[in-house]
Amino acid sequence: MAYRLNLFQSLVSVLVLCKPILALDFGQWYSAGNSDLLAPRLYTEHDLKRKGLSDHVSFHPEGASEGFYCHYPNLKSKEWEACNDGADSRWCWLRQLQAQEGESHPKGYTVTTNYDNFAPIGIQRHYHMDISKQTIAPDGIPREARLMNGTYPGAMIEACWGDTVIVHVTNNLDDEGSVIHWHGLRQFYNNDHDGVALTQCPIARGSTWTYNFTMLQYGTTWYHSHYILQYADGVLGPIVVHGPASAPYDVSLPSPHFMSDWVYRKAEEEFDNEKDPVVRGSKADNILVNGIGRSKEAVAAYNGEDIRSLYPITEILPGQRVRLRLINGAAGTSFIFSIDGHALEIIANDLVPVEPKIVDSLLVAIGQRYDIIIHGLDNPSPSGNYWIRTHPADGCNTFRNGLFNSTDSTNEDPLDPRTGILHYGHSSATYLSLPDTTANTITDFSCARISEQTSLRPVVPWSISTTPLNNLTLSTFYPSHQTENDAPYGNYTHWLLRLDPLVEKQGGVSFHNPLFANFSTPSLLDFTNIGQAENDNVIRLPYSSNSTDFIHMVIDGSLLPSTNQTDLDPDVIPLLAHPMHWHGSDVVLLAQSEQPFDPATSMDTWNYENPPRRDTIMAPAGGYVAVAFKPDNPGVWLVHCHIAWHASAGLALQMVIDDGQGLVENMLAGERMKRLEGGCEEWKADLGKVVDYQKEESGV
């Protein structure tokens, strides 16, 4: 570990101190600021072949699908080259061969490039997706699911850093609309392609909707439906964006390790448990990895069959360093991931490359992703088989048979967390026996793991202003549970993000309702009236393109400070952890604590110098998280708990980021607005005339 960190620190020192040689200071490259981020990607791969445009940088990135190539049409092969072709050069992506006339040094794109401001200009990649119903049995028990291109998880979207991805989504469901969200993608100046019910009407039955976005970030993420719990029914899939990495590795596995929980009932039916004031919570029935689940009975009945037909298999060679991408696409379960007897090296969280960190396990909360390197053993066991474990995190799971915790579990028939197998390809290895390995000694199965979550340092640093642009008192929210029925919105108990009642009283503001999206009139299409409906839950924040300006926000999962628990009528705050997800921006983790937020003292402990940065952060039960982000991306952006059942019960708010002078409306004027309006007309003519009056969940 010490060697790896020293190697990385030395690399960074070389890149920073030797700018005259490597020239990774891109400030001199473009005088037009962010213009390269918004530049159109003009060609598809077919266009390049048809027009004979071969004089450009083109290469097959490590771990990419067969026949997949990155193309950069504006970088001529006589002047530029790919530079990530060896295990020890993964930090590099593209470099100029020599300085051009008038330049003091060559240019390049590497892991230290500030991707907020610069991205290479790639090509267009088109994907066609359809949403349909199919009966599947991922663990042997059949149920009707909603799927993307007929598989669970759905088809992988693959791109290179700087590509524009164009996805044509056809809704072939016979009784539902849909919207598809591209989780964690910045969508810079592209709010209308975020894929939520705040930014577009649902896709009508039989209609096709096209999403268009540029991969300004790189790494691992996923897409999923943001419509009526559809992703818990199967509408989700992985996204891989090839780019540089912060540590060396030998090979990269082509498919992510996609973790999820699985519900045997249709998600809308299971949502009845969330709405029930007695049951108070939807349940899951099993754990899946890459769409495969096992039962204890099946493991007990094992009789020497080929393990490749029973479990997801991860292949490795002795001594090999293998990159693996982790995604948690569960509806209600956060997981502790580990591989028996193996060290894991974290190199990215969400879409942010981080300084390498060695662990024996890691928390993957709902919505989070990690890129890790598995350090292969020099002398693995004769069978070559080791268990991969996906264990539900303590306090962050609800299964049909009870809580499935590491200790004090109430689950009378617990599931088996052994969900995959790491297999070594050496001479005595076999696919005809299950592993007999022992789990790593893990001391922390909690769903906060604060020391781990707060220790990850981004490669590209941010320094955070201690003076935010906003009023923090009006940006401190409490995940609450409404105990009184709300007749206009389904007549059931709801979740909500609310202000403290005393703050509301003193400030003359009202912010104590669950968020409910209006499918036929999305906020982005009714911008001047956002906030007038009682369930809009809007926070307005000032736009700024200044890179030193920040918004601060607190999510506090403790008791409301101005009340006692017994006084919280109609709202109570159950002591639960919530994985909070921000759309439209990465957020930095200023603080994460299991103690309540104290506005008088807590800020003295906050980390303002290159804190962890990602798009999904766990708010601990009974404690708080403080985050900061740049308000440089105009639009209407969602903040919500990524427990699907909580979001559907209203645990969300919408952030309006605007300059007060028409920035958002001007950004969407013309064809972009006409397209949105056309989609709404299709929706209203179809299910909109029914669903808008019968909706019993938040729509987000």
Q: Sign of dihedral through CA atoms 122, 123, 124, 128? A: negative
Q: Which two tokens stand for residue 250?
A: 């030998």
- Count the residues in the chain: 700
Least confident of 30-34, 216-220, 524-528, 677-681: 30-34
Residues 310, 302 contacting (CB under 8 angstroms): yes
Of the pLDDT bands very low, low, confident and very high (cuts 50, 70, 90), residue 293 is very high
- Burial of residue 245 (CB within 10 Å: 0-12, 13-18, 19+) is buried
User: DSSP for 606-632?
Assistant: ---BS--EESEEEE-TTSEEEEEE---
In this prediction, residue 632 carries a pLDDT of 97
pLDDT one-digit tens code per residue, 429-480: 999 999 999 999 999 999 889 999 999 999 999 999 999 999 999 999 988 8
Scan for tokens 């077919």, then name that residue. 46
| pLDDT band at 32; cut points 50, 70, 90 | very low
**Beta carbons within 8 Å of 267's beta carbon, 6+ residues apart:** 229, 230, 232, 233, 331, 644
226 vs 209: CA distance, rounded Å: 14
Contact between 338 and 372 under an 8 Å Cβ cutoff? The reply is: no
pLDDT in tens, 158-203: 999 999 999 999 999 999 999 999 999 999 999 999 999 999 999 9
Cis peptide before 153 (omega within 30 of 0): yes
pLDDT of residue 289: 97
User: In the predicted model, is pLDDT for residue 19 greater than 90?
Assistant: no
Got the DSSP string for 479-524? EEEE-S--GGGTSS-EEEEE--HHHHHHHT----S-----TTS-GG
Higher pLDDT among residues 7 and 390, named by residue: 390
Separation of alpha carbons 259 and 332, rounded Å: 12
Sign of dihedral through CA atoms 288, 292, 298, 300?
A: negative
Q: What is the pLDDT of residue 487?
A: 57
The CA-atom distances, in angstroms, between 258 and each of 7, 238, 440 are 30, 8, 21
Rounded Cα gap, residues 224 and 233, in angstroms: 10
Count the helix, strand and coil residues of the chain and give each as a percent rounded to the nearest 5.
Answer: 20, 30, 50
The amino acid occupying position 356 is: P
Query: Does position 22 have pLDDT exceeding 50, yes or no?
Result: no
Strands 551-556, 476-482: pairing kind = parallel
pLDDT value of position 430: 93
Within 309-435, residue ranges assigned H as helices are: none
pLDDT band at 488 (very low <50, low <70, confident <90, very high): low
Q: Which helix (H) or strand (E) holds 322?
A: strand 321-328
Q: What distance separates the 2 farthest-apart alpha carbons in the chain?
A: 74
Distance separating alpha carbons of residues 65 and 634, to the nearest angstrom: 35
Q: How far is CA 144 from CA 132, 141, 147, 150, 616, in A?
A: 10, 10, 10, 12, 30
Please tell me what DSSP assigns to residue 50. Answer: H
448: amino acid identity, one letter: A
Whether 126 has a pLDDT exceeding 50, the answer reads yes
Distance CA 600, CA 610 (A): 23
Give the model's pLDDT for residue 23. 29
Structure tokens at 62: 């490590």
Q: How confident is the model at residue 486 (pLDDT cuts 50, 70, 90)?
A: low
Q: Looking at the DSSP assignment, which residues form a beta bridge with residue 261?
A: 287
Instruction: Look at residue 694 in the predicted model and tell me its pLDDT.
Output: 55
Q: CA–CA separation, 180 vs 522, rounded Å?
A: 15
- Give me the residue label for tokens 């330049």: 103
CA distance 433 to 428: 12
Distance CA 649, CA 493 (A): 8
Q: Is residue 68 pLDDT above 50, yes or no?
A: yes
Over residues 645-673, the mean pLDDT reads 95
Residue 309 burial class via C-beta count within 10 angstroms: exposed 0-12, middle 13-18, buried 19 and up = exposed
pLDDT tens figures, 523-562: 999 999 998 887 889 999 999 999 999 999 999 988 665 5
Average pLDDT score, the chain = 88
Instruction: Give 664-682 pLDDT, tens digit per residue.
Output: 999 999 999 999 999 999 9
Q: Is the pLDDT of residue 11 over 60?
A: no
Contact of 44 with 126, CB cutoff 8 Å: yes
Confidence of residue 5 (pLDDT cuts 50, 70, 90): very low
For residue 95, what are the β-bridge partners?
Answer: 81, 108
332, 334, 338, 343: CA torsion to nearest 10 = 150
Please give the Cα distance from 372 to 356 (Å, whole number).
9
List of long-range contacts for 679-682, beta carbons under 8 Å, 24+ apart: 679/200, 679/201, 679/203, 679/204, 679/207, 679/209, 680/200, 680/201, 680/520, 680/521, 680/522, 680/525, 682/201, 682/204, 682/207
User: Taken in order 681, 682, 683, 689, is the CA torsion positive or negative?
Assistant: positive
Q: pLDDT at position 503, please? A: 81
Tell if the pTM clears 0.95, that is, is over it.
no
> Sorting pLDDT into bands at 50, 70 and 90, what band is 25?
very low
Task: Give the closest residue to 638 by CA, choosing from 657, 652, 658, 619.
Answer: 652
Cα–Cα distances in angstroms (integers) from residue 434 to residues 95, 388, 461, in the given order = 46, 12, 44
**What is the Cα–Cα distance from 671 to 7, expressed in whole angstroms?**
51
Calpha distance 76→676 (Å, rounded): 38
Chain centroid to CA 222: 6
Amino acid at 561: P
Note the pLDDT tens digit of each residue in 308-362. 988 999 999 999 999 999 999 999 999 999 999 999 999 999 999 999 999 999 9
- Which residues are paired to 540 by β-bridges? 656
Three-state SS annotation for 201-267: CCCCCCCEEEEEEECCCCEEEEEEECCCCHHHHCCEEEEEEECCCCCCCCEECCCCEEEEEECCCCH
Where residue 500 falls among pLDDT bands split at 50, 70, 90?
confident
d(CA 637, CA 287): 31
556-601 per-position pLDDT tens digit: 988 665 554 444 444 456 678 999 999 999 999 999 999 989 999 9
Asked whether the predicted pLDDT for residue 17 surpasses 50, the reply is no
Per-residue pLDDT at 485? 60
Task: Using DSSP, state whether 452 is helix, strand or coil.
Answer: helix
How many Å apart are CA 558 and CA 573, to the nearest integer?
7
